[in-house]
Amino acid sequence: MQILVIEDERELRELLEYGLSRLNFKVTGAGNANDALIMVEEAVPDLILLDLMLPGLQGLQFLDIVRRKNQTVPIIIISARTGEDDIIKGLEHGADDYLPKPFSMRLLEAKINAALRRAGGAPPSDRLTSGDVAIDPDSRRASVAGESLQLTQKEFDLLSLFVRKPEKVFTRNQLLNIIWGYEAELVSRTVDAHVAMLRKKLGSRGACIKTLPKIGYLWSAEG
Ligand code: CA
């Protein structure tokens, strides 16, 4: 998740960049709204944190310009102006939320995750990764090095389980119970067949699924 921070106070901007990157967001900083407009033009971030009082183009003007072209990118205002009129004005100009300064990182994180959820993106903690294999449980999508995989439900469940528990040995019976339940008279060949297909679809990452002869399987990030 890419966050653009527009804040002219350098110390605060750097603090936000540091704090948010520790929460696994990718953060870009802009010291003024003019630079920020160019950045948004090049690539729309997943979320924008916007200070109001800026040198040159003001925060509300920035909002107007961005909202003319993009109605959906979540924008949270961070401002020392804390009057009700200011907050209402910000929301009327198209901000999704308004966070009065000073604020804690905890509150900021909660606001960001809530805004991303409303926008349909999952908070970063929900995404599973192992090397360049990425899984989004909410949308049930998986990818290798950015290339999305076409997986069946069972293959997706298998991959999620493996990636969640790297280096854990799963016997065929355990996999049958966890993924298939007791729904049918399944034999362990079912597991083997699904693992074989999943391996094939994972391409070079297929080697991450190790076979333990006569036992079962495990996921190893090294591949
Ligand atoms: Ca300012």
- Cα–ligand 1 centroid distance for 198 (angstroms): 51
Residue 148 φ/ψ, nearest 5 degrees: -75, 150
Same domain membership, residue 14 and residue 105: yes
So what's the pLDDT on residue 122? 46
CATH of the domain at 193: 1.10.10.10
Q: Is residue 146 part of a domain?
A: yes
148 and 72 within one domain? no
Tell me how far apart the 2 most distant CA atoms of the chain are, in Å. 70
Q: Is residue 123 assigned to a domain?
A: no
Q: How far is the CA of 6 from the centre of ligand 1 (A)?
A: 9
Both 11 and 107 in one domain: the answer is yes
Do 6 and 114 lie in one domain? The reply is: yes
- For residue 33, the model assigns a pLDDT of 97
Cα 172 to Cα 125: distance, rounded to the nearest angstrom:
29
127: CA distance to ligand 1 center in Å?
Answer: 33
Distance from the alpha carbon of residue 51 to the mean position of ligand 1, in angstroms? 6
- Going from the Cα of 50 to the center of ligand 1, the distance in angstroms, rounded, reads 9
CA–centroid distance, 95 to ligand 1, in Å, is 17
Same-domain status, 109 and 135:
no
Q: Measure 5 CA to ligand 1 centroid, in angstroms.
A: 12
Same structural domain, 207 and 140: yes
Neighbours of ion ligand 1 (CB under 5 A): 8, 51, 53
More confident call, 40 vs 173: 40
| 119 CA → ligand 1 middle, Å | 26
- CA–CA dist 155, 133 (Å, integer): 14
Nearest to 195 by CA among 168, 177, 217: 217
Query: Measured in angstroms, how far is the CA atom of residue 79 from the centroid of ligand 1?
Result: 7
Q: What is the pLDDT of residue 97?
A: 94
Write the burial class of residue 111 (CB in 10 Å: 0-12 exposed, 13-18 middle, 19+ buried). buried
Determine which of 28-37, 43-52, 166-175 has the lowest per-residue pLDDT on average.
166-175
Q: For 84-132, what is each residue's pLDDT tens digit?
A: 999 999 998 999 999 999 999 999 999 999 999 888 754 455 678 899 9
Q: Name the domain boundary from 86, 118, 150.
A: 118
Q: Give the residue numbers spanning the domain of 86.
A: 2-118
Residues 42, 108: one domain? yes
- The alpha carbon of 170 and the centre of ligand 1 are apart by a number of angstroms equal to 54
Q: How far is the CA of 102 from the centre of ligand 1 (A)?
A: 12
Predicted TM-score (pTM) of the model is: 0.56
